[in-house]
Amino acid sequence: MKLKKDWLDRQNIIIDDINKLEISMFQKIPKSIRINTLKIKKKDILEMLNKKGWKFKQVPFFEDGYIFENDVYGIGNSLEHFLGYIYKQEVASMVPPIILNPKNEIILDMAAAPGSKTTQIAQLMNNEGCIVANEKNQKRIYSLQENIQRCGVVNTLIAKTDGRNFGKLNIEFDKILLDAPCTGTGIIMKSPKTAKIWSEKTTKNYSELQKQLIKSAYNSLKDSGMIVYSTCSLEPEENEDVVNYAIQELGMKVKDIKLKNFKTRKSITQWKNKKFDNEVEKAVRIYPHDNNTTGFFIAKLIK
């Protein structure tokens, strides 16, 4: 697999360690799991996993996340997984629900399938409050349903609609997670075909969709409510440009994001000839070679 030169050239504008980024796209990242405390006490499942010879360390910013330190196979086929005691989930994917910090509230997960973040949100809420988990693709709804049931989640309703419709439904949410559809250039190591099919045109098309989705989320949000916007893309059009739109066109405010013992980088404030609002810098970029994870972008927005 080779990365496209025009893609590398773009990334080289943003970071000065492009060689490390390129290398990271060809490396396997450590496997990780989230312990599902809705179904089992953490100490009990840790004892079970230790008996299997699985060795792991805790995710720095999340007490129920664990990273494997040895080669482990068949996690998704293990009894513990089938029973919903554990959820195979990549470390960077655990960040957006942590930033959302859900309480006993009404939450919208606007693009929910396959349910990694939905079930994590339910866990953080201890199955209280209410989550609307939305997915427009019927085939992906099946995996969302399966994971919600397997994990013992009972505070969640599944909706099937285009996320752009929510702003028209006159429903208000306390908080919204918009883990937006994207080009996925932060997870090339997991999906090598992304490197082949990526184009600047596709990035721009996704950016337009993402702006429509965040506008819909804004119109579905209570005053002073929060949107956590995230992608597994490294493209400024899909990240900073969308947050800039939320600031300048929707009037949203950006809040700082801090993660314990986990490296993040400031967002950029200019891309090519476009200058972004200085508030955009409060969003964070997560690079694969900084933490040995997938790449992510996350912004915390207040109405």
Whether 21 is covered by a domain: the verdict is no
Whether 163 is covered by a domain: the verdict is yes
Whether 50 is covered by a domain: the verdict is no
Which pLDDT score, from 0 to 100, does residue 73 have? 86
pTM confidence score? 0.97
Give the DSSP letter of residue 293: S
Which pLDDT score, from 0 to 100, does residue 1 have? 75
Q: How many Å apart are CA 295 and CA 286, to the nearest integer?
A: 5
Longest dimension (CA), the chain: 57
Whether 51 is covered by a domain: the verdict is no
Q: How many Å apart are CA 87 and CA 95, to the nearest integer?
A: 15
What domain range is 190 assigned to? 91-302
Which pLDDT score, from 0 to 100, does residue 123 have? 98
As for how many domains the chain has, the answer is: 1
Query: Between vectors from CA 230 to CA 273 and to CA 93, what angle results, nearest 5°?
Result: 135
The CATH number given to whatever domain includes residue 105 is 3.40.50.150
- pLDDT tens across the length of the chain (303 residues): 789 999 999 999 999 999 999 999 999 999 999 999 999 999 999 999 999 999 999 999 999 999 999 888 889 999 999 999 999 999 999 999 999 999 999 999 999 999 999 999 999 999 999 999 999 999 999 999 999 999 999 999 999 999 999 999 999 999 999 999 999 999 999 999 999 999 999 999 999 999 999 999 999 999 999 999 999 999 999 999 999 999 999 999 999 999 999 999 999 999 999 999 999 999 999 999 999 999 999 999 999
Whether 18 is covered by a domain: the verdict is no
Q: How many Å apart are CA 70 and CA 156, to the nearest integer?
A: 35
Whether 109 is covered by a domain: the verdict is yes
Whether 230 is covered by a domain: the verdict is yes
The residues annotated as belonging to the active site are 232
Whether 61 is covered by a domain: the verdict is no
